[in-house]
A and B are shown apart, each in its own frame.
Chain A
Amino acid sequence: MTLTDMVITKTIDARGMACPGPLMTLIGAIRAGAVGDTFAVHSSDAGSKTDIPAWTAKAKHELVEVRPQDGYSTFIVRKAH
């Protein structure tokens, strides 16, 4: 599955938000969501590149894809449990 044909439950535009804001917003969305929900987070914060994968692995959710964009990255995370 690619970014373009994936069903995204919710897109979080966290561009411009300082570290660790994008991660905190993602954590909130995952907590409020249902198992299987897929979230796209746009983040321009450099810390997100390490923090979102680290948290996703630790919390045992699925990091589906990290897509570099123009001046930011998009993280696709699926709530696994």
Chain B
Amino acid sequence: MIDQEAPLSLILFSGTDDRLGAAAILATGAAAMGRPVNVFLQYWALDAFRREKIAAWHGAAPESGPSGATLVRESQAQRHWSELFQQAKDIGDVKIHACALSMELFDITPADLDPLVDDVEGVAAFMSDATQGPITFI
């Protein structure tokens, strides 16, 4: 239906809800426009995808300040970033990979992760998926 485009590869590092929200918007837009999306979860972003706490408040980036944090909290209460990732997966080719090293570092097992996460991958495997198209670090 939609001509295939170069994939978008997102490396998510930050676990704050504003950055995860912005990343979810990018993934959704790319999926809608026919781009495959590869998401690689590292560090705090991976921690935020834990089944137990994916819906919890993960704070906002330091530059947001108290009023900015309230704004982020309100927008996330209205539509959470995890719902957007689900919508992106529903309409497009969106894969979410957990970084193997971060899994070890944070002592996370696949069963601890939200079902949005497809698999655990090493960095080289992720890079081999991301040979075409831009790589964005968020």
Binding site for B on A (CB under 8 A): 18-21, 23-24, 27-28, 31, 51, 54-55, 58-60, 81
Q: Which residues of B contact A28 (CB under 8 A)?
A: 90-91
Task: Tell me how many residues of B have a C-beta within 8 Å of chain A.
Answer: 15
- Fill in one digit per residue for B28-53: 1 if any A CB lies within 8 Å of its CB, else 0: 11001110000000000000000000
Residues of B within 8 A of A20 (CB): 25, 28-29, 32
Known: A18-B78, A81-B1. A54 touches B33 (CB 8 A): yes
Residue ID in chain B nearest A25 by CB atoms: B87
Main secondary structure of the interface of B (DSSP, over half): helix
Closest CB-CB distance, B34 to chain A, in whole Å? 6
How far apart sit A28 and B31, CA to CA, in the bound complex (Å)?
Answer: 13
The residue of chain B having its C-beta at the shortest distance from the C-beta of A54 within the complex is B33
A58 touches B29 (CB 8 A): no
| Pairwise interchain contact B29-A59, C-beta atoms closer than 8 A | no
The minimal Cβ–Cβ distance linking B65 to chain A, given in whole angstroms, is: 22
Inter-chain contacts of B75 with A (CB < 8 A): 18
Q: Which of A24, A55, A59, A60 contacts B87 (CB 8 A)?
A: A24
From B34, B78, B87, B91, contact of A58 by CB (8 A)? B34
The CA of A23 and the CA of B91, in the complex, are separated in Å by 11
Of B25, B34, B87, which is within 8 A of A19 by CB?
A: B25
Distance in angstroms from A81 CB to nearest chain B CB is 7
